[in-house]
Structure 1
Amino acid sequence: MILKSLFFSYMSELEGESLSKIDILMATYNGGQYISQQIESILNQEFKEFNLIVCDDQSTDNTVEIIKEYMNKDSRISLHVNDQNLGYNQNFMKLINLSTAPFFSIADQDDIWNSNQLKDLYQAIIKKDVDIVYGKSSYIDQFNHVVSNRPYVRNIDVKVPYLLFEDNIIPGRNMLVNARLKEQLFPVPTLSRTFIYDWYLAFKAVENHGIYYIDKTINQYRIHTNSVTNTDAYSPLKEKSFREKLMYIENLRIEAIKNRLNRIEVFKTFLKDQVAVEEYATYVDSLKKTRFINFHFANFFKYMKVRTLHYQIIFFIILHLPFLYRVFIMKYVNESRRSYEG
């Protein structure tokens, strides 16, 4: 009877482990200010069959202590602390390697998940049998106040992977990923701040079993100055003069071209559709050679992520009155071009 009891106890433990259909992967670094809100939102999910795996990247604040407190309350939470700082790209890829569930989801340390996130994503990925399903976000500030911001997450045609070349429109925080995609991810190409892990996952999913978008708000994305992915490139311009704004914008344009040229070299190392990569490279090269940005009016707003009326007006003036453009910044333009045109 004792052996029989031990056997059934062991089988129950195995069954309990198998209930974890989703591994939630959270990379942390000095996230003590907001991480409690994020963990609470995850524990309050309507879908309960998950484990939360946290990998801390040598935090110097109270992040690890907070996580350990939650570990004592909920056995679904586990913590790994890196021996050295890996950076968020390598940290997330390490987490993907640690995951053993049939599906994994990615959580930023400072957002807040809506209670429906896992349920809605899981139902969609089971029904559609794709590699990635994703939804959209609302936006909050450091005080949890809703803010109006750039809702760049959008649906894409999975038959046109080059739509991903220009921008990362499927963020990790909105993904649920089928674990079979892991077979396609390694070895990992060079990742950087301008080409990050979730962008890479999206490319590989489009090339394999595809991507599916659900038109539902599933989380609240926090925008604050300490966010790793905060991309408000125009915020430093609020108090600048008109001429300074023009100079700053031209510099952004040049840096954007450099970043795209660097990303193309990475794309070549892992994308199957090399023809599409070469076509995109030709397009970026044409931007590099253009003497005046007003020659590319149709693409400029999208290219430079111009999302506010204030800067649309400025760009309208620049693009339609090239004389002003020359008067204000032509000398600066000529000097800056020498740094990358050769």
Structure 2
Amino acid sequence: MADFSVPAAATPAPRPLWRRIWLPVLVFALLALVPFIWGERFILGLVTRAMIMGIAALSLDLILGYGAMVSFGHAAFLGLGAYAVAILFSHDIVDAAIAFPVAILAGAAFALVTGAISLKTRGVYFIMITLAFGQMAYFTATSLSPYGGDDGLRMFHRSELFGTKVFASDFTFYFVVLGTLIACFLLLRAIVASRFGRVLRGAKENERRMRALGFDPFRYRLAAYVISGAICALAGALFANLGMFVAPAYMTWQRSGEFIAMVVLGGMGSLVGPIIGAIGVTLVEEWLAAITQHWKALFGPMVVLVAIFARGGIVKLLDRGGGR
């Protein structure tokens, strides 16, 4: 009788207890304390933005860290989620109970269609086709003249929730975003630890063997791609509410590159790593931008140094530093 169990190679080796439990708890606890320690509106907005980027980076880590799918069009999902909320808002549909599910469905639908095509390719061809789809979404957004075109679309206030203005307070919205970040982290950790996650990792390590065991890697990769797109669209819905503004710039390939940098710098395939990477990249960008308008010239070498001396990301560096 054939053995259809997931091979041992597909099951990740046990990770240090501190990384699996204590590091995420520490990160989320510190984020929860921020409003009480630094309650200024600027700080709240900056860290809220970092957490939203953390949700987007988490979604990318599912396909990049666990499925080896390097997407250069991931920002399209962020933009789709943001535009879904803003366009509905322009038609007087302001309730998050309607707008957010629509944003998630829009991201999932776009991921399903584009993923079904993109996943027929591998390597650099996958990178190029996801880049092409991302640019297609970007130029579609710029051509939406009724919704601002190049100038973007403004929302006059944040979404409501069942008729209440829960999101109106920066303090409350901060904890809504933090709660969403924690929920996405727990959801993705459950997915990664499940049989689905083991098959996804197994296909990354040895696709031929997974096929021999009776699994279809394409179906699992497509499902992961759709989940990733849906979660990133949710981040886009939150991002639209943060600044009460959306623009085609949300969908540029440079933004997709930032997401990849966040995942790689934080630690691919660790879930908590992309959150740390997103927070680090957002804060460092803000700090460097305050020093010089040419901050990217400083940020680039910093990324290179981290990539050289902290292979595996910040989480791996902490491992080597005695975090075991």
Task: Note whether the superposition's TM-score is higher than 0.5.
Answer: no
TM-score normalised by the chain length of structure 1: 0.22
**Per residue, is there more helix in 1 or in 2?**
2
The TM-score with structure 2 as length reference comes to 0.23
> Larger relative CO (CA 8 A, sep 6+): 1 or 2?
2
Q: Which has the higher strand share?
A: 1
